[in-house]
Amino acid sequence: MIRAATPLDVPSILGLIQELAEYEKLRDSCISTESLVHEALFGSNPSAESVVAEVNGEVTGFALYFTNFSTFLGRPGMYLEDVYVKPEYRNRGIGKQILKKLATICLERGYGRFEWSVLDWNEPSINFYQSLGAVAMDEWTVYRLSGEALRSFVENDFCEPAEASV
């Protein structure tokens, strides 16, 4: 069963986030806590939403997503930050059910698109997404400022190259 997450699911969601970080070889980057997850999903100003997959009362997978916006479509969309199913529950259609639930939410809310990123080495996930009809946006490169680079950008004056445009 796929259902909306509740505050009682936060410990399970954090555990799955940590498993995902391990799988993606990013465990050292995972500093999330139950408190941070709870605030993001259920605090006074939620910044994300989550669904969980449940099998016999056990949370076996989750997806965490948030609203983005397409200026070209003039409508909001959904960005899937993470989806993860415990290894022992894979190949049972749970991942597909999670994505179908999110796609249904997109349609119900009138969203213009449903997007996510995948690590380029994650061949099983890439094949799975392509089997659903998802299309890689190869012409786009994701850029990120975080941590010290973000702080440094805010605190320092940088000279932009003459040809740069925003």
Report yes or no on 97 lying in a domain.
yes
Q: What does the pLDDT read at residue 54?
A: 97
Report yes or no on 80 lying in a domain.
yes
pLDDT digits (tens, 9 = 90+) for 127-146: 999 999 999 998 998 898 98
Report yes or no on 111 lying in a domain.
yes
pLDDT higher than threshold 70 for residue 164: no
Report yes or no on 110 lying in a domain.
yes
Structure pTM? 0.88
- pLDDT bucket at 157, cuts 50 / 70 / 90: confident
Q: What does the pLDDT read at residue 158?
A: 65
Q: What percent of the chain has pLDDT over 90?
A: 86
Report yes or no on 163 lying in a domain.
no
State phi, psi for 91 to the nearest 5 degrees: 65, 30
Range of the domain at 21: 2-141
Q: Please state the domain count of the chain.
A: 1
pLDDT higher than threshold 60 for residue 165: no
Mean pLDDT score, 62-90: 97
82/22 Cα distance (integer angstroms): 13
pLDDT digits (tens, 9 = 90+) for 95-119: 999 999 999 999 999 999 999 999 8
- pLDDT bucket at 163, cuts 50 / 70 / 90: low
Report yes or no on 27 lying in a domain.
yes
Report yes or no on 152 lying in a domain.
no
CATH number, position 76: 3.40.630.30
Residues annotated as catalytic are 129
Q: Are the CB atoms for 95 and 55 separated by under 8 Å?
A: no
Report yes or no on 147 lying in a domain.
no
* 86 Cβ contact list (under 8 Å, min separation 6): 16, 19, 60, 61
pLDDT higher than threshold 90 for residue 27: yes
Strand-pair partners of 54: 59
